[in-house]
Chains A and B, each alone.
Chain A
């Protein structure tokens, strides 16, 4: 069996056996939900209900209830859409890219991150949908025969590419997630005693048996899906960026958008994973599976992606001047010093400057600080999208139509509502689904479990004596 270098910190702490892993992950499903869970889901549920109410009001009245005007015809709707899609990028990144890079620490977070991805993409998909307005005639997008002959949607339009990208991403992520869940559902099925739960998990586990051929296929399918999902992750946020970048609006049309959006998406996604996991590990007592080292790794990903985003901001700013195109230059000058300077300043502070604090080992290994930063970054990334979308269009070529965007209570209500729906789904997931991949954790126990690592190389705690620089 291949052993890990002894300076690497163990990923699974404590004295764990295979049985312990099963017990630790399934415990929350078998036991009664704590009161805090009910309180949290109640709060989230109220928010969700409020959001759904706002959506119904919007659909019944029309998109005019949003704060949009003639100049700013896209604002919070698309901002929220991009924000949620961005958050939805970390899950597949963790499960796919980190799988290809053979990063074993991903097993502590991949299941929950994938769940987050799926719920976030659902929230994202909601916005274009409700933006359509009269949803009940939504079938008009299909080429149904009519008196003019059937007409196709425009396949040259980035908005349609987006439909394909988001739906492909959503369904492939779902499949990826579920294929990983099947063996774990089987584990639960073979353990639970309550008849109803047994029946439900029996259906969910699809009759998984865990024989050698099945595992052989399982591993290959995971790998191939990872290979497919990796370019998919890149393509999805690139296509989201094409929504803007294919246009000729100064501030939107810039070639760096595709990779920069991808990086920003991973950045915000990891921040959200950080927020959720820090709570989850505490609530479900998973500290031995998801400890400071994992948090540190995630923080490193956050510094890297945050810095890439920072380089992209500065590149854009520089090239807008370098281009010698006055409209381009003005768009960026206006962004930084115009009426929306406060949004630009928040974006810069939250996304570029504050993640640099993670260069300090003390800070990136501090759980409180990581939690605080993850919230800051989520806010910052929301502002980034807002800045890109609104500040580029609020002053167009005709100064008489320059305006300022004010969100209405419906804008705010729907956004808050999606956060509510997201948390309702996430809380349900964490209650009834295994939040860590049971089977996959067992595969790394012998190479990365503390009790196993102590028995070879320099032995006990060598990693701690070494890695402190």
Chain B
């Protein structure tokens, strides 16, 4: 049976990405570069900034604060508080530290006021909330979000490809009726590849500093930004080798994806078992590549953001998330097509089995999350634990929340047999886990790129919706290109009569 993407589905997916795009554009101009404030007393506070701010920007900020305070009937005086001599040697760094003194414009009237306003505290609050801040000229939030979504959606396609290869390599029978859906999902791999390539190349060109090791200053022993630890990793973290690996990953995955699709169509046309056994062997070969690349890819794309930090488990942890997100996507697309009546051969027991995979992989993910977290937490070695320090200090809610969503929800709601057979339940739980794993990638990226200056708003939601729309559209389009059933698969009968 053939499926054609319906007009409604087209409208919904493309509409979703259009709405997302609008949100991204709106959010794009609200990216902030925070300054920090410490409360001293009612009339004084200190203001710090560690980044790179030109004199002009500094003046603008002073003028802005002055006008805010003027409107409230105060005036402010700024003094340079940076008495550190070393900062003045060589070329000046553009960070600053000011002491700000606030006085009332109307000394006499002030006394008569009934209530007493702590103006200093309210300024600190405005600075903390980002109301008073620079505009982020590096667009860090934009680039970080691009990386989050690029990786997340690339991971889904890769997860589907991995599962397809696994299905062939293990000579599984039950899921044959779902293989075309997996093929469709993995076909959307280029979406992620393009986005990731844009992020990497932009990094190389200096548009963003997500990957500190791409910065030539960091690697230059004569520079004031020289970082000895990162320099020590130069043999691995250098741009030529990095791009060589990136090309190797993308080319391998892409070619395998194309090959599997081609071969399964060939099987449709020619019959016999020759294509099947070829795919069986090629599936095993893919797993060999995947075993190495899934880890190194996670180190390259994500772990190297927190360049100082390292964890041997990292690759496997990221892989479990990829696999699970892929399975959730398989579930959602299957339920959607089944509802439209396109999959008469997919029975409840198939859905049940995909549900079991979601349940089991949620457990696997939680197990790896816990293993990595607990071991680092327990041994408390500074160079390792700083990774979780920043996550717990600045991302507490979202960091632990992600774990709760991705562990507790599937565990409680997918344990029973009935929920794994009910489309309604599965859609709700699937969506929650899906967002949970998007948040997981968010947690992997943001604390290393935005530190404590993260935000959750139009940009994040918009970018997610935009890519979700594009991805699902691509998947549905790809599914429409081949029949929904691999009619000559040798295990087809087993799968059709799958019952337990």
Contacts and interface: CB of A to CB of B under 8 A. Distances in A.
Nearest to B272: A466
Interface stretch (B84-92, B157-165, B376-384): B376-384
A410 B494 CA distance: 56
A467 B491 contact: no
Interface in A1-36: 2-8
Interface stretch (A311-319, A337-345, A385-393): A311-319
Contacts, number: 100
Interface in B229-287: 229, 232-233, 236, 273, 276-278, 280-281
A148 to B, nearest CB: 27
Interface size class of B (residues with CB under 8 A): 35 or more
B291 interface: yes
B363 A231 contact: yes
B232 A324 contact: yes
A4 B173 CA distance: 9
Interface size class of A (residues with CB under 8 A): 35 or more
B296 to A, nearest CB: 9
Interface stretch (B36-44, B306-314, B425-433, B444-452): B306-314
B231 to A, nearest CB: 9
B372 interface: yes
A133 interface: no
B111 interface: no
B291 A311 contact: yes
A254 interface: yes
- The secondary structure that dominates the B interface is helix
Contacts of B308: 324
A256 B316 contact: yes
Nearest to B500: A102
Interface in A229-288: 231, 234, 238, 242, 245-248, 253-259
Contact of A319 (B310, B356, B499): B310
B16 interface: no
B292 A255 contact: no
A231, A254, A258 interface centre (most CB from chain B within 10 Å): A258
Contact of A253 (B174, B277, B381): B381
A245 B374 CA distance: 10
Nearest to B312: A256
Interface in B337-391: 356, 363, 367-368, 371-372, 374-376, 378-379, 381, 383
Nearest to B356: A100
B295 A5 contact: no
Given A5-B490, A311-B292, A315-B315, A466 B273 contact: yes
B499 A311 contact: no
Nearest to A308: B291
Contacts of A3: 493-494, 497
A307 interface: yes
A5 B173 contact: yes
Given A307-B291, A319-B310, A255 B494 contact: no
B233, B292, B363, B379 interface centre (most CB from chain A within 10 Å): B379
Contacts of B367: 231, 234, 238, 258-259
Given A102-B174, A322-B236, 13 more contacts: A5-B173, A5-B490, A7-B273, A246-B375, A246-B378, A256-B311, A256-B312, A258-B313, A311-B291, A319-B312, A322-B233, A466-B277, A469-B281
List the 3 shortest-distance A-B pairs measured between CB atoms, nearest first: A256-B312, A255-B313, A258-B371
Interface of B: 171, 173-174, 229, 232-233, 236, 273, 276-278, 280-281, 288, 291-292, 295, 299, 308, 310-316, 356, 363, 367-368, 371-372, 374-376, 378-379, 381, 383, 490-491, 493-494, 497, 499-500
Interface of A: 2-8, 100, 102, 231, 234, 238, 242, 245-248, 253-259, 307-308, 311-312, 315-316, 319, 322-325, 466-467, 469
